[in-house]
Copies of this chain bind each other. A is one copy, B any other.
C-alpha cells in the first residue's frame, strides 16, 4: 500500500449514544427489535426517550468507534461524518479529537440536530439500538476531502451509510478516490437488518469495490440468504481480498487467498454491554493489517480490542489498548 501519512480514514454516521439499562419487558412493550439497529424518526425518538430510564451520553457511531479504537492502538487515523453545531455535536467532535483522531468535517449550521442512538442495554449485555439520524442526512459528496482520502492506506466505510440517501454518493466517491490513490477499501455490513434493506447493492459493492470486508454471522447469512454459516462462508470465498467474519463468543474466521483462519474469542469475565464489539474488532484487525502483522495476529489484536469494549458500559475503549495488545503479543 506504500507509505501514506494516514493509516485509516473512517467514514460513517456521526452519532451520540444515549445508553440506558432496561429489561426485556420494556423492549417488548415498546416493540424494539432486540440486538438490532432500528432507524426511528424524531417523534419516535422523543416518545422512546420519554419512556426510557436515566441515560448516559457517550459519543458513538460505528465507524467513529472503530476509528477511535484504531487511534487508541497508536494508529494514525481521521474520520469523516456529519454532526450539527449543537451541544451534542460539539461533544462528538471533542471526544473524537481527544481520542487522537483527525476530524475536520464541517458541522451543519442548520437542519436537524446531531444524530442520537438510544441504546437499551439488557442484563445479558445485549444492546438494542434505536437511531435518529438527524444531521447525518446532510453528509454529502462535498464532505469527502480528496486529500484526506488519498492520504490513507485504508478507507473504511459502514453499511449504515446506505441509509441516508446523499451519503451513498459520498460513499461511492470515497471508494473511487481511495482506489485511484492506491489505497484499499474496507466495509462493514453493519447490521443484518441493514443488509436486508440493501442486499443487492451490498452484493455489488462486495463483488466489485471492497478489498476488506467485516461481517458478523447474521449479516453474512443475510447477505447470501442462507441459514447455513458454512454455506455463507463458502459463498464469500474469493469475493474480497480479506474477509473477517465474527461470531461473538465463538470467535472469528478470517478468509484470505483461499485459506480460512479460525481465531478464538478473547475470554471475558462478564459481557456488560456488547455495544461496539464489532467496531473494536475491526479497529484491532485493521491496525494489525496496516502494520503488517500476519492475519492470525491481526485477528488476535481484534479479539483483544473487542473483549475490552464489551467488558464495560459504552462503545469506546476505556483501558490502554496499546498496552493490552503489547502485553498479549509480548512486544
A52-60, A219-227, A260-268: which lies at the interface: A52-60
A220 to B58, CA, bound (A): 36
A321 to B172, CA, bound (A): 51
User: Number of contact residues on A: which range applies?
Assistant: 20 to 34
Asked whether, in the complex, the Cβ of A49 is within 8 Å of the Cβ of B94, the reply is yes
Asked whether, in the complex, the Cβ of B99 is within 8 Å of the Cβ of A87, the reply is no
Contacts A98-B53, A98-B54, A316-B54; A87 near B59 (Cβ below 8 A): no
Taking CB as reference atom, which chain B residue is nearest A87?
A: B87
What residues on B are CB-neighbors of A52 within 8 Å? 98
Asked whether, in the complex, the Cβ of A21 is within 8 Å of the Cβ of B54, the reply is no
Asked whether, in the complex, the Cβ of A56 is within 8 Å of the Cβ of B94, the reply is no
Q: Say whether A141 faces chain B, with CB atoms less than 8 Å apart.
A: no
Asked whether, in the complex, the Cβ of A91 is within 8 Å of the Cβ of B58, the reply is no
Q: Say whether A113 faces chain B, with CB atoms less than 8 Å apart.
A: yes
A280 to B31, CA, bound (A): 35
Q: Say whether A112 faces chain B, with CB atoms less than 8 Å apart.
A: no
Asked whether, in the complex, the Cβ of A87 is within 8 Å of the Cβ of B58, the reply is no
Contacts A21-B318, A318-B21; A91 near B59 (Cβ below 8 A): no
A88 to B89, CA, bound (A): 12
Asked whether, in the complex, the Cβ of A57 is within 8 Å of the Cβ of B57, the reply is yes
B-contact 0/1 string along A69-95, CB 8 Å cutoff: 000000000000000001110010011
B-contact 0/1 string along A91-119, CB 8 Å cutoff: 10011101100000000000001000000
Taking CB atoms and an 8 Å cut-off, the chain A residues in 288-316 that contact chain B are 313-314, 316
